[in-house]
Chain A
Amino acid sequence: MDVNMMNPILTAFADILPQIGFQKIEKKGVSLMGTTLTNSGVLLNIALLGQLKGIIMIGMDLESAKRFASKMMMGMEVTELDGLAQSAISEMGNMVCANACTQFSKIGLGGLDISPPTLMIGDGVQATLPVPQIIDVKFCVDGIDIQVYIGLVS
């Protein structure tokens, strides 16, 4: 997998998050992993199709997800990850992936489309992506840890 494929997604992340109320976006690390990842909490799944195809996933633990949704909803208290909070997190994923498509178009990979988001909520959920390797990017966003998993092939 071409590691450069992650740059448009990182740009999208840094572009969108300030628009939805986040100030400090820190990239904590990048690593390559196999085809399967394990996540406890919330795992957001969006498929991408076109000149590139595959999956982008965004994972965070349940507490982080609640804090994230609360921040997106201008500080509204989120004690459980209800429909509104789930919808907020999905919308963030949708916006990041849509923006990533725009960033890809700037490097000649235009016309990409994305699927609606699906959330998987649970402890120790394993996800296997249809690619040889996954890029795992760790972010810390206003003190909230988020993992972005990129599994794309051309």
Chain B
Amino acid sequence: MSTVKVMVVDDSPFSRTIIAEALTGEGYEVVGEADCLDELMNTYNKLRPDIVTMDIAMPGADGFECSKALRLAYPDAKIILVSSMKDEETEAEARRIGVAGYVQKPVEGESLKTVITNILSPDSLFNQLKERGFETFKEALGQNITRMIKLPAEFEPDIVSDKEYLSQGITVVVGIIGRYSGSMILDMSAETAEKLAEAVLRRPPKNNDEVLAMAAELANIVGGIACSMMNKKDKSFGLRVSPPSLFHGTPAQVVCPNLKIEGVYAKTDLGRIFLGVGFKKGSILWM
């Protein structure tokens, strides 16, 4: 295996030396250093390192701003924050930016090595989510359709797409947050939603609001149950669902940029229901 190339970003020459020595001591090649945003962008572009270590407190653009700019220009950049700060908000901010790892100062070679090894290894937890996540969401949808309308749902073949999806009329989007974040889309025609609402209420819906509320509730339940099922398989997923956003009126194109959506149509006697689920890798390894 070729040597892992690392770039060190820190405004303090002393810190850069300490971090570079710790990295070299663990067999990594320190290919470049930077002490500000401009130098970071130029040097990264020239050297394309495998890993960037990033100080948080720097004059001018701080480590968060530098990380944001780097990830905007190079979405695959793998950044390890190196800082003496370690609190809930610093962690949350790092997670939102998409930082890959975090090592607390004073830096030890061993901690850096553990985080770098983990970042560069295949992520088995994410692979598990990719392998079993979608099936779990399908299972939750199937169960709930049967429970609601007392009729079975039959699934058409799975579709994997990173293209837009054209809504059938009513789209519910549920955000998923946890160790990995993602989106769930549940979509059906207005007619199907109306029939489903009638089946659930055991009377015709009084108005469109009841129909929409049923669609939102179905999405909420399916998302919530599926996430609980995944969390039971491995509690470190820590998946939670956001309140649902409901789109209706005229059909829209639904796009989830940078997210590969696995989708399927569930066929029922009341119409077709589309389920789409996609997750994004953005795990953080803390040391």
Contact = CB atoms under 8 A, between A and B. Distances in A.
Interface of A: 19-20, 38, 43, 45-49, 53-55, 57, 83, 86-87, 90-91, 95, 98, 101-102, 105, 110-131
A10 B176 CA distance: 24
Contact of B96 (A43, A86, A101, A118): A101
B164 interface: yes
B257 A130 contact: no
11 contacts: A45-B245, A47-B243, A87-B257, A95-B72, A102-B93, A111-B88, A112-B92, A120-B252, A125-B250, A126-B247, A128-B248
Interface in B148-204: 164, 167, 171, 173-177, 181-183, 185
A43 B248 CA distance: 13
B248 A126 contact: yes
A46 B175 contact: yes
Interface residues of B, number: 46
A113 B92 contact: yes
Interface of B: 65, 68-69, 72, 88-89, 92-93, 95-97, 164, 167, 171, 173-177, 181-183, 185, 212, 216, 240, 242-259, 278, 280
A105 B89 contact: yes
A122 B248 CA distance: 11
Contacts of B164: 121
Contacts, number: 145
Contacts of A91: 72, 257
A127 B250 CA distance: 10
B256 A118 contact: yes
Contact of A121 (B176, B212, B253): B253
Contacts of A95: 68, 72
Contacts of B242: 47-49, 53-55, 115
Contacts of A122: 167, 250-253
B68 A120 contact: no
B53 to A, nearest CB: 21
Contacts of A129: 243, 245-246
A57 B252 CA distance: 15
